[in-house]
Each structure stands twice: as structure tokens, then as C-alpha cells.
Structure 1
Amino acid sequence: MRPRPLRGWLRARASPRPAGGTPGTPRVAARRFPKQTYLVTRRWLFADQLGPHFLDDPDQPVLLVESRAVLARHRFHRQKAHLVLSALRHRARELGDQALFVQARTYAEARAQVHEPLSACAPTSRGALELLGRLPDVEVLPERGFASSRADFERWADGRTRLLMEDFYRDARRRLGLLLEPDGGPVGGHWNYDSDNREPPPRQPRGTDAPAVLDVPEPWWPEEDEIDEEVRADLDRWEASGEVSFVGRDGPRRFAVTHREARYALHTFLRKRLPAFGPVEDAMLHADWTMAHSLLSPSMNLGLLDPVECARAAEAEYRNGRAPLASVEGYVRQLIGWRDYMFHVYWHFGPDYGRHNYLAARRKLPRWFADLDADAVQAACLSDVLAGVRDRAWVHHIPRLMVLGNYALQRGWSPQELRDWFHYSFLDGYEWVMAANVIGMSQHADGGLMATKPYAAGGAYINRMSDYCGGCRYDPKQRRGEDACPYSAGYWAFLARNRERLEGNRRMVQPLRGLDRLADLDKVVAQERGRASTAP
């Protein structure tokens, strides 16, 4: 039996438009409940808190809010707006009469429609947390959806001069009892198998024109339903009226919007794709955008999955002999290491962290990049990755860091503009995600608070870890001339521009010495300055 269309469900529960409302005022869809005392307060779930682990009791009453002002305030990727609204509306339908679903212009207007005390798990952004502090009768509880609490992180960070992710990750493994031997040591004798997970991608099969792809089963793909259709129709109408503006292309929904869908996707990854994940997790193939990645980051950041449960399920695959340790450890490190670390860095370093600009990078993002105009780009790697963002609002972590971020770093683009671009253009992009990922890791704008050196690399890295360069008009071995690879030339121009700022970094001693061996350095710098604003 197919569920009832959501639009009819909303109409049946919608309150009338307030008298004197202006045309275009969003209708507030909120059922009126008689005043009563709840043993458990109604839980306000934000759009990144949609899993069952954000409730204290399976039957706890819930408030869900769909705010139009959020979409109007920023230029989101079209598919991101679709995913978030679809997830909210699917959660409302799942909960039925247990949920009060309010569609309003702002969160404050929605709160005014609800005449009872509320509780909320601490939201993931400072703005949302400050909003809750201004609203009446909202109890803010500790955050959920992460493997470590903010209190856990602060206890670990106390007294440390360097907050290394690897140290935090090992502490989390011990605290959670993940991938440990009975004596408390790491399974297999090593904490980290990153050195085993840096293999280049497979090459094109000989004697065929078929492009190289990994020999792994397909990911789980969702099927759209009437809620997705209604969301798409709403987005079309709002865009046509000028209320909102999007970047990127519409497309079929490729990621989960319910806990049940996310569980299917997780199960498929663990049983069919996790064994192949580790060795080539840093590799790129132009004809295989999924590789062996889990594709679960959008689901995780919607709050549909509990990261600790996912980590324990991955550990079970290793314990049961179904997945190699290097792949399992790499995935667990992403879940309880990197993901949590990024969240805690966002809070630990405070609101000023996002304003860091150690390398004095101030160039504005060019229009072709901001608008995802992949067709304007001739460099094969950048064109393909930018097209992936345009068409799917998702690429995996190495294209983000070593193609998109590396290019921006070399050209001195504003880290704040780049952070916002990643935030609004990616399905899994949130304020807390992109602060440390972009400001710290990708752009080295924090001066080394997070990463020990800039993630800058020339075309040789991309040539080694992908199949892009073979069919590209640029030569990764050339740094000057019409065929000069923009990454190879850009790497040296970046080092020359930032030499004084990076001289005190011991990990940059050898790269900076390389500048002195380039007889044509001035010409390379002038060349890159001349083509800084044009698409490569």
C-alpha cells in the first residue's frame, strides 16, 4: 500500500492563513493540540537530526519545521534543497500524528505557532544555538549524532599544545572499544593503515576502449516517490516566482532521506563494497565517480545514521572475516576520527576561526567556478570534478581536497568564499563541516592549527592518483607554455607567493628549496598571474 501524498496530509492539518496576511506569506501547517502536560517534552528536530537516536523515547512527540527563509537567504545547490526538504517531509509522514510539522517563513514564526514547552538536542551551528537561546521555553540538551561529545573532546584537548587528529582518533577508539585487542592495543598491531590505502586506480583494460572502473557492485540507489515529486514542484514554483535561486542541475535523488533507506545503503556498502574501499580510497577515475565509497555522508549529516553504530557494524565485518582490516580501519577513522574532529574543531576554536586567512588569500571566486560552469574548463580533472558537483552536488574527498581545494589554494582565492561555496554546493555541506575542512585543512588559512602543512600538489600527484591526465590537453610535466598543466605551474607559483609565510614550517623546507632550482621561476609566476582569472 502506497503512503498518502504529503501535500494532502499537510492540507488536512494546516491552520488557516492569518487574517490580513500578505500574498505570498507561507502557510503554517500546524495542528492545534489542547493544552496538556507531557511526561516527555516535545522534541524539536532540526533537518540534520532526523534519525531515531535524536529521541528519548520512540513515542516522544516531535516538532519539525520547514523554513523558507533558509532557502531564500543563500544560493543552495538545487539537489541539496531537494534532499533536505524531502528528508524533512518523509520524517513527518513516518511520524504521523506523533509529529507537529510546521511550514513557516522563519523558525521564530514556527515557534510562535507551538503552545507548549520544547526540548532540542544542541544544533550543529552557532547561529541555530543562539536562536534557541532567544526563543521561549526551549530546553537545549547536549548534542547527539557524533561519536564523541564536546565534553569528551575538551577533556582530551586540555593541556595539549597540538590537537592532532590521529591522537584524538586513537583516544576515541580506546574510549569506544573499537578495533581493539583484549589487552587494549589496536587490532593488527597498528592504529592506522593509511599507508596501505594509497594505491593508484586501475588502468584502462588493454585492447578495449572501455574506461577504467572498479570491479565492485553498484551502490544502493533510492526510488523517488510522491514526496520527492511534490518537493520538486515546490522548488520549481518558488524559483519561478523569484523567491529562491539555485546553483547546479536538478536530477534524480541518489541519496537516502529516511532512516530505513540509509540502513539499506549502509548494508549494501558493508557487505558488497567495504572490502574494496581502503586500498583505492584516495584514487580517482573519470568514469567511476562512486569508486568503492560508502556515499553515506549526506545521510550521516542529515542525522539518519548513528556513526558509532555504523563503526561497530564495520568492525563486525572484519571480525566475521568479510572485510580486510585496512578497509575497515579506514572507514572507522572517517566516522569517529575525521568527522568528529571537524565538528569539535569548529566549536573548540570559536567563531573567529572561520575568519582566519594566514596566507592572505583574497581573490574572489571566479564566476565560472561559483556557477559550476564545468564546460568552460579544459583541464580534464577540474572539468570532470566541477561537473560532478554541478550534476550530483557530491564528489568524494580526494577530488574535493586535491582538485577543487588545491586549485583554489594555488590561486589565492578567499578561504571564506570557498568555505561558503562548499557549504551550499554540497549535499553533505554544513557550517561545522566546512569550517575546519576548508579553512584549516584545504586552504591552510589557520596557519597550521589543524594540518601540519598546506595540501598543495602539482600535476604529478593527479597523474599518479587518477586517469585524468592521459586525455587532457595539458601536460602534467610542463610548467610553462600553452600545454603547461595549471596544477604543475600553479604549485610553484603558490610556493613563490607564500615563501616567507611557510619558511618556518619544517615540512615545507624541501619544497621551498625546490624554488631555488627553477631557473624560469619568474616566468612561471608571471604566466600564472596572467591566467589567474580565466578558466584553465
Structure 2
Amino acid sequence: MANRRHGEQCRTCAPGPPSGAVPEALGTRIDEALDGVDPAAPLWCFADQLGPAIHGLAQHTEREVVLVESSRALRRRRYHRQKLHLVLSAMRHLDYELGDRATLHRTATYREALAEVGRPVVVHEPTSWAAARFVADLHEQGLVAAVLPTTTFALPRADFADWAGAASRFTMETFYRAQRRRFDVLMDGDQPVGGTWNLDRSNRERPPKGRRTLGVPEPWWPQEDDIDRRVRSDLDAMDLPTVGGDGPRRFAVTSGEARAALRRFVDHRLEQFGPYEDAVMAGDPTMAHSLLSVPFNLGLLHPLEAVRAAEHAYRDGTASLRSVEGFVRQILGWREYIWHLYWHFGPDYEAHNELGADTPLPDWWTGLDADAVRAACLSHTLSGVHETGWVHHIPRLMILGNHALQRGYHPRQLSEWFATSFVDGFAWVMPPNVIGMSQHADGGRLATKPYAAGGAYLDRMTDHCRECVFDPSVRVGENACPFTAGYWQFVHRHRELLSANHRTGRAVAQMHKLPDLDALLEQEAHRDRF
């Protein structure tokens, strides 16, 4: 039923939309889509459209906001417990903050909620193909009066389509440079600040020797309130099929909290982010990362607001160019690129499996059972996902993704697992990141080579190996590293494909020189413990 008021305490209020977040052309498209629509038609905000870049738009300030908790949607997949908490907490906080302007409907289905509204609603484009088809059906049936362009990313989808359609070939780097020029970020006139577009090579420092943590100030941590306590109680009562542990909320769920987290990162952590962004420390899972992926993906924080804050830190001398450029590249470059490729590649992209990987995900993996594995890197990473639903991008790509690639886990199952087991996982995020980047299942449409690596890489960029029962330098035997041996097994399995790629051909040549290749292949064919 509709629930207009909770009577709970909340510490933050919703700020207005970030200045300049919606380009003039996009505002014009929204106005055109609203032509002839009742100016008081309610605005339906999905659970990842909760920020002022949606409900704070001038076109919506007089509209009632509709929020929906669908029990059927919550039961549809086996989500991480903390992900469900974050989504419900974010919606209920927004309901509280908007006061009488908002109505939170708790129904079994979205259609039941729209029936309670009793009149057509307007909605911004959803963030998945499935949701877009659903909204299109609702539009045809007259339940949705208008479907508007999304406003929670810097570059509108129509503008990317124009840009991509005009290019015979494009890469993330060309897209990133176009983004910098378009939004005038870290630019001196028509040239990049410092004369270089990409400082990635300066941001590959290993974990500091002899230290357990990076030693930077703690990130911003939220304090749970009455709304969080009610969410936890309600989730307990729902008895949903979840994975992972419960725990204190660790991520921002309001626009005010998101801005506080951004300020904390920029003022105290950004300077150390760049050099160590690709390093992993067992005793310091957050290192200098921003922890902003959740509020970004809930639509609470606009990417341009974040990159402007980072650029300001460089301009006023409080953060180095390499750190600021690294952060800007992640947000204005990679994140936006992934968003647009999700739509550009089409709804069938997730079905790609060019490497023929068909191994089902093992139970210890899907159950996040860190105690079931002995490899320190795998165990620590699974433990982090179990405890928080989050690890940063290198454990995702070079530990979890690398292991799955070597062992031939089914890419579509893997993409679904990432989307449900991570608190920042949404339908648009994972297919390009997993199918394309991590598993190379798209045949190279996104990345030019598979991201496979042996134990030497993990020994260099993490501090896991020094406490591991396996030796990253050993291929065969009781203490053979499953990543080192698994890498050569992967190279052998795909030797024809890798030989044809100038970036991986050398690995095939090296494999043929291994004196213990036959023993290694026999060993890995029977390995069932990691």
C-alpha cells in the first residue's frame, strides 16, 4: 500500500541538482517529450534514479514523486543482503526527504503500484534493456505518459549514438579525450593540462613494502538511522533469498551523504588514489578509493559534480595531476563508456561466449565461501565480497575475473553473479565489464586482449602472496599457484586464438618452451581445490 510518512529520523536533506548537469540540448529534448503531457503528472523514479538530477529538474519540481518497493522484484534474484538494504534505504530516505511530495508504494508488482497512483506517470529512461521494454509496454498501454531521456550521466545517449555512428572505429581512449574536450575538464584551451591525456603509466605503484595499510585517512562512513533500522527489520521479516552478510551500512544513500563522501575523498584521499589505484592490500581493502560507486549508480551523485570537484583540487594545488586525471578517467571516461556501450552493443550482447566457456560457477563461489579456498588472494577477495558486497576494481578484474577466465566459467552466469553479489552492480554495469573486459567473451569488441595473468602479476601488485600456501613462481607440484598454472592452461586451451593476436602471441611461444607443460596440463585438468 502507499506509505506517505514513516515518522522516522533523517539527518540530511536533498540538495538541488548540480549546476550545469543537464545540457541545454537535453533539456530541450525533455521539454519536447513532455509536450502535451499533464504538467502535474507524477514522476516515477526507479531505484537507481534517486538523485536531484532526476527529481530536482525544473520540469519536475511541481510533480508528485512515485517510488515503488516491489516485493516480486526483490525476490527475483539472489541479491547480496547489503545491496537490498542500500536500495531500500535510499528509496525510503528520499521518501522522507521529499515529504508530502513523495509517495512510497509497497506492492507485489510495479503494475499494482501504478494502479494505486491511478493516473499516467512520466518516467526517465530506465537503465536496462529489460526495464526499457517494460516501460515501453506501459507507455503503449497508457500507464506511462512520457518516457524522458536519462539525466544521471554526463553524455546523453543520443549524443553518444551520434559520436559512435560517425566513427569507423573507436576506443575508450578516443571517447575519453572527446569527453574531456566536450566538458572542458582538465583542459588548457584545446590541449590537455600538462600536455598528456593519460597518466595511467604513472599510477601503477606496488603496495608499499613493510606496511599493512596505505596510511591514508579513513573514508567517509555513514551513521545508520531509524530508517536503516526499519529496513533491516523489514528485510529480516521478508526472508528473501540473499547471499553475503548483513552489517552496518557503508555507502551513501542520499544526495547529501554522497556529497559528504565526495568531499572527504577529494580533501583527504584523492592525492594517494592515483599512484596506488591498481594495488591491493589485504589489510586495507578501501585503500584510497572513493567508495562513490554506490551513490553514482543509485543516481544520487552526478558524474560532472565529482569530476569538477577533483579538477578543483588540482587547480588549487591540493592534489596532483596524476591522481586527479586517474579519477577523472574512471568517472568521465570508463564509467560513461561502459554505460553507453551497454546500449550500443544491444540486448543480445550478454549472450556472447566466443571462448566457449561453459563451466558452471562453483558453489563456494556463488555462496561467497572464503573458507573453502586456500589461495590467499581468492580467499581475501571472496571474504570482502561476503562482508561488504564490494572490493575495488583490481580484485574484481585480476583476481575474480582472472580466475574465472582461466577456469572457463560461463560468462553470462558470471555477469549475473557480479550484478547480484556486488552492492554497486546493476544490469547496465556488468555485461561490458564482464562479458567484454574481464572474460573476452565478445571476441574482442571491447578489449584487444584477454585480461589473463599469472601469479607473478599478483605477487607484484598485491601483498597476498607472502601469506599464501601457494608459491607464485611454481607451476607444478603441491604448492603450485593456481593462477600461475591456470594461466598456462588458459594459454594452451586458446593457443590458436592467442597466436593470432600480436599482443598475446609471445605468450604462446613461451608456453611451448615450458619443460613441464604436459605435467601442468594434467595437474590442472584434475584440480578441484584452489
TM-score w.r.t. the length of structure 1 is 0.90
What pairs with 1:168-207 in structure 2 (closer than 5 Å)?
A: 168-182=175-189, 184-205=190-211
- Tell me how many residue pairs correspond in the alignment: 493
| Aligned counterpart in structure 2 of residue 97 of structure 1, from 81, 97, 100 | 100
Question: In 2, are the aligned partners of 1:41 and 1:117 still within 8 Å (CA)?
Answer: yes
Percentage of pairs with the same residue? 55
Structure 2: distance between partners of 1:6 and 1:223: 21
- 1:43 paired residue number: 43
- 2:223 paired residue number: 223
- 2:432 paired residue number: 436
- 1:22 paired residue number: none
Structure 2: distance between partners of 1:344 and 1:38: 31
- 1:236 paired residue number: 236
How far has the Cα of 1:159 moved from its partner? 4.3
Secondary structure, aligned partner of 2:442? coil
How far has the Cα of 1:160 moved from its partner? 3.2
Secondary structure, aligned partner of 2:242? coil
Structure 2: distance between partners of 1:535 and 1:375: 11
Question: In 2, are the aligned partners of 1:7 and 1:230 still within 8 Å (CA)?
Answer: no
How far has the Cα of 1:112 moved from its partner? 1.3
- 1:527 paired residue number: 523
- 1:71 paired residue number: 74
Say yes or no: does 1:140 pair with 2:147: yes
How far has the Cα of 1:313 moved from its partner? 1.0
How far has the Cα of 1:349 moved from its partner? 1.0
Structure 2: distance between partners of 1:126 and 1:268: 35
Which one-letter code corresponds to 1:467 in the other structure? D
Structure 1: distance between partners of 2:39 and 2:430: 38
Structure 2: distance between partners of 1:40 and 1:223: 36
Say yes or no: does 1:334 pair with 2:330: yes
- 1:15 paired residue number: none
Which one-letter code corresponds to 2:47 in the other structure? A
Structure 2: distance between partners of 1:282 and 1:458: 16
Secondary structure, aligned partner of 1:493? helix
Secondary structure, aligned partner of 1:279? coil
How far has the Cα of 1:147 moved from its partner? 1.4
CA gap of 1:482–1:344, structure 2 versus 1, over 3 A, is same
- 1:367 paired residue number: 363
Which one-letter code corresponds to 2:504 in the other structure? M
- 2:468 paired residue number: 472
Q: Which moved more, 1:127-136 or 1:294-303?
A: 127-136
Structure 2: stretches of 5+ with no match in the other structure: 9-36
CA gap of 1:345–1:5, structure 2 versus 1, over 3 A, is closer
Secondary structure, aligned partner of 1:113? helix
How far has the Cα of 1:6 moved from its partner? 6.0
CA RMSD of aligned residues (A): 1.5
Secondary structure, aligned partner of 1:120? strand
Question: In 2, are the aligned partners of 1:163 and 1:450 still within 8 Å (CA)?
Answer: no
Structure 1: distance between partners of 2:4 and 2:135: 32
- 1:350 paired residue number: 346
Structure 2: distance between partners of 1:320 and 1:252: 35
Structure 1: distance between partners of 2:476 and 2:297: 43
How far has the Cα of 1:40 moved from its partner? 4.2
| Aligned counterpart in structure 1 of residue 307 of structure 2, from 295, 307, 311 | 311
What pairs with 1:382-421 in structure 2 (closer than 5 Å)?
A: 382-421=378-417
Which one-letter code corresponds to 2:191 in the other structure? G
How far has the Cα of 1:7 moved from its partner? 4.4
Structure 1: distance between partners of 2:113 and 2:196: 51
Secondary structure, aligned partner of 2:318? coil
- 1:130 paired residue number: 133
Structure 1: stretches of 5+ with no match in the other structure: 10-36, 206-211
Structure 2: distance between partners of 1:399 and 1:193: 21
Structure 2: distance between partners of 1:505 and 1:84: 43
- 1:253 paired residue number: 249
- 1:509 paired residue number: 505
How far has the Cα of 1:78 moved from its partner? 0.4
What pairs with 1:153-164 in structure 2 (closer than 5 Å)?
A: 153-164=160-171
How far has the Cα of 1:273 moved from its partner? 0.3
Question: In 2, are the aligned partners of 1:359 and 1:501 still within 8 Å (CA)?
Answer: no
TM-score w.r.t. the length of structure 2 is 0.91
- 1:299 paired residue number: 295
How far has the Cα of 1:5 moved from its partner? 12
Secondary structure, aligned partner of 1:360? coil
How far has the Cα of 1:502 moved from its partner? 2.4
Structure 1: distance between partners of 2:73 and 2:511: 47
Q: Deviations over 1:466-501 (max 9, x none)?
A: 111011100000010010000000000000001122
Structure 2: distance between partners of 1:8 and 1:523: 67
